[in-house]
Chain A
Amino acid sequence: MNRYATIFATFARACLVRDMTFRTNFILECVTSLGWMSMNLAFYLLVFTFTAEIGQGTGWTREPFFAFVATGLIINSIVQALFMPSAEELTEMVRTGGLDGVLVQPLDAQFLLSMHRIDFSAFANGLVGIGLLAWALKSIDRAPHFVVWLLYPLLILCGVAILYSLVIMLAAATIWMGRNQSLYDFWFYLTNFSRYPAEIYAGPWGSPLRALCTFVIPILLVVNVPARVIAQPLEGQGWGMIFAAVFAAVASLLISRIVFQLAISRYRSASS
């Protein structure tokens, strides 16, 4: 385990050195993603000039909703920084045969392929997320219980684990298909569902969608569970959600591991 930590640190160090070599590119990446995020936030502010609450009786008034958005920013920035660049590169490695070099190394291939590339600029959004969360919690004016302070980071990790499993399964699919350029698009469509409170999925179309995105692809548990825990009072049914999130995280990790192992055992390699 210690060895994997050292290797991860080596990757992180190398990526940081590289990011700093192409400094302008790094700054531009930070600026674009911060810009995109601010536009989104402005849009939400605009929405709240028309309504006080998203969905009646859901509790998602302005400040709690911004705590929700902040939670999403934090989780997404972790995934974008740690796993997304590697997953994208995996599709390229399958196409060019670069995966060969990984498979001969005495190291867990999934570990190497999911975290060898880290995009530090993606952490910028996460930092803003933390700031936004602090502001929202201060405005809500209700100090969260200390249990919440323990649960929140755990549930953030669960959210990251669920998203990671999805990313790595999508990336593993490229090993089968030889090429999968729609990875990023597919990822975007999927995570889009996780960006809003689960309560908005109601009615004849919404409810089945909500069930699908909770039980089949547990994408709705990613942001909703930690956000609800931190932004709203913890009640009876909240605990059910928490267990569901933990269970979904463990299950997705296991399934993604199986899918990944199966995929690399089927690897065909590209021509030299």
Chain B
Amino acid sequence: MHNSNRLGDAPLLANRQFAATSAPLIAVEGLAKEYRVYDKPEGLLASVSGLFRRTSRLVPALRGVNLTVGRGEFVALLGPNGAGKTTFLKLLSGIITPTRGTASVLGHVPWERADDFRRRFALVMGQRNQLWWDLPAAESFRLHKEIYRIETTRFERTRDELVDMLDVRKLLLQPVRELSLGERMKLELVAALLHEPEVLFLDEPTIGLDVVAQHTLHRFLSHVQTERQMTVVLTTHYMKDVAALCQRVVVITHGDILYDGSLDQIVDRFTTHKIVTLDLDHEPSQERMERFGFPCEIRGPQAILRIDRSRIADVLPEILRSETVRDISVEDVPLEEIVASLFRSEAEIHTRESE
């Protein structure tokens, strides 16, 4: 077991006080997790011999991550499937123990699973169900009240507030199995927030939800987070979640942090061009449009050019002079595309390394 509360080791009282006021709520250093996986050979004979001798190897899920998160931050973890996002959240919530490294969440080592720590955070997993399946959510809430020792008046106040915000009062007495995914997710969130956690971990909370439900959750989360100054770490595959909620984005691929910064900076840092869409009065030829020197895609009377950001001021007037343009739009590369290319390029580097 690691004793990683480094802040507590400060030798001077003055230092300690400084540390207490400016301490990050989540501090992670060199956090690594390896899983031992057993190879399951194909074929009957090989399977049988596998009963007696199995070959195993260590698969790194997280390779020494460093990260600090301050109070009230809303951080998104982005990354392709298998990048280590969920493993990271599981380590931070103390579900699993790391292979190496230290972490401190709310001043506790998460995997020591102290009650005082567990009372102060919540974990919501979009793919898992925490509510009693066959019973109305109100019953699960009641149990939650007991487990988290929430005082009755406080419990009722918080519950009513959350329930009204998400407009789910009429669902409280219906068995959870009869609810839609969106409705269930709202109730999962209410349950997770009943004990007013200081830190909230959300693992793909909007997975499988329709646009309306996603939007409702965004509004709700953003409201609650600001109101309570809650620290939230969210993993997702939807850029809409990130754009609506997070000031800070952490991109993880292959168990490493690839980028840590604001969403806008991702665009600045990882793209070289803008997308210019031209609506013309007739279908242009490919050659004609490519004479400006940039890749172009023709879609009917529409031409989509990818123009270097540094050149855009020169090229646009030229286009407008020589073409009959009905409408024009200049946009950044969509985030999805940037992130996807980030994932891809990292994967390529990775395969090259291992070859």
Q: Please, how many angstroms separate the alpha-carbon atoms of A107 and B147 in the complex?
A: 7
Residues of A within 8 A of B35 (CB): 268
Q: Please, how many angstroms separate the alpha-carbon atoms of A270 and B103 in the complex?
A: 21
Q: Please, how many angstroms separate the alpha-carbon atoms of A10 and B148 in the complex?
A: 13
Contact with A along B134-166 (1 / 0, CB 8 A): 110001001100111100000000000000000
List residues of B (90-139) whose CB comes within 8 Å of A's CBs. 90, 93-97, 113, 115-116, 118-119, 121-123, 125, 127-128, 130, 132, 134-135, 139
Interface: B198 (CB within 8 A): no
Q: Please, how many angstroms separate the alpha-carbon atoms of A271 and B132 in the complex?
A: 21
- Minimum C-beta distance from B322 to chain A (A): 53
Q: Contact between A104 and B128 (Cβ–Cβ < 8 Å)?
A: no
Q: Contact between B123 and A3 (Cβ–Cβ < 8 Å)?
A: no
Contact with B along A202-227 (1 / 0, CB 8 A): 00000000000000000000000000
Interface: A59 (CB within 8 A): no
Q: Contact between B94 and A104 (Cβ–Cβ < 8 Å)?
A: yes
Q: Contact between A18 and B147 (Cβ–Cβ < 8 Å)?
A: no
Q: Contact between A265 and B97 (Cβ–Cβ < 8 Å)?
A: yes
List residues of B (153-205) whose CB comes within 8 Å of A's CBs. 175, 203-204
Q: Please, how many angstroms separate the alpha-carbon atoms of A103 and B201 in the complex?
A: 14
Interface: B86 (CB within 8 A): yes
List residues of A (1-16) whose CB comes within 8 Å of B's CBs. 3, 6-7, 10-11, 13-14
- Minimum C-beta distance from B255 to chain A (A): 15
- Minimum C-beta distance from B2 to chain A (A): 13
Q: Contact between A11 and B95 (Cβ–Cβ < 8 Å)?
A: no
Chain A residue at smallest Cβ distance from B204: A272
How many residue pairs bridge A and B at CB < 8 Å? 71
- Minimum C-beta distance from B100 to chain A (A): 16
Interface: A106 (CB within 8 A): yes
Chain B residue at smallest Cβ distance from A98: B128
Tell whether A106 pairs with B119 under 8 Å between CB atoms, given A100-B128, A269-B90, A269-B96: yes
Q: Contact between B86 and A7 (Cβ–Cβ < 8 Å)?
A: no
Q: Please, how many angstroms separate the alpha-carbon atoms of A7 and B150 in the complex?
A: 13
Interface: A17 (CB within 8 A): yes
Q: Please, how many angstroms separate the alpha-carbon atoms of A233 and B125 in the complex?
A: 59
Q: Please, how many angstroms separate the alpha-carbon atoms of A29 and B47 in the complex?
A: 39
Residues of B within 8 A of A7 (CB): 143, 146-147
Q: Contact between A14 and B132 (Cβ–Cβ < 8 Å)?
A: yes
Contact with B along A11-53 (1 / 0, CB 8 A): 1011001100110000000000000000000000000000000
Q: Contact between A17 and B139 (Cβ–Cβ < 8 Å)?
A: yes
Interface: A267 (CB within 8 A): yes
Q: Contact between A101 and B146 (Cβ–Cβ < 8 Å)?
A: no
Contact of B118 among A11, A17, A18, A106 (CB under 8 A): A106
Q: Please, how many angstroms separate the alpha-carbon atoms of A18 and B177 in the complex?
A: 12
Q: Contact between A104 and B95 (Cβ–Cβ < 8 Å)?
A: yes
- Minimum C-beta distance from B194 to chain A (A): 12
Q: Please, how many angstroms separate the alpha-carbon atoms of A101 and B126 in the complex?
A: 12
Interface: A182 (CB within 8 A): no
Chain A residue at smallest Cβ distance from B113: A103
- Minimum C-beta distance from A229 to chain B (A): 38
Interface centre among A17, A100, A101, A104 (most CB of B within 10 A): A104
Contact of A105 among B86, B142, B147 (CB under 8 A): B147
Q: Contact between A14 and B128 (Cβ–Cβ < 8 Å)?
A: no
Q: Please, how many angstroms separate the alpha-carbon atoms of A104 and B117 in the complex?
A: 9
Q: Contact between B203 and A272 (Cβ–Cβ < 8 Å)?
A: yes
Interface: A97 (CB within 8 A): yes
- Minimum C-beta distance from A100 to chain B (A): 5
Q: Please, how many angstroms separate the alpha-carbon atoms of A21 and B178 in the complex?
A: 13
- Minimum C-beta distance from B149 to chain A (A): 7
Contact of A21 among B95, B127, B175 (CB under 8 A): B175
- Minimum C-beta distance from B209 to chain A (A): 16
Contact of A272 among B86, B122, B134 (CB under 8 A): B86
- Minimum C-beta distance from B299 to chain A (A): 38
Residue positions of A touching B, CB distance < 8 A: 3, 6-7, 10-11, 13-14, 17-18, 21-22, 97-98, 100-101, 103-107, 265, 267-269, 271-272
Instruction: Please list 7 pairs of residues, one from A and one from B, whose beta carbons are closer than 8 Å in the complex, sorted by A's number.
Output: A21-B175, A100-B95, A104-B94, A104-B121, A104-B122, A106-B118, A267-B96
Pairs A-B, 10 closest by C-beta atoms = A106-B118, A106-B115, A106-B119, A272-B86, A18-B134, A101-B130, A7-B146, A10-B143, A100-B95, A104-B123
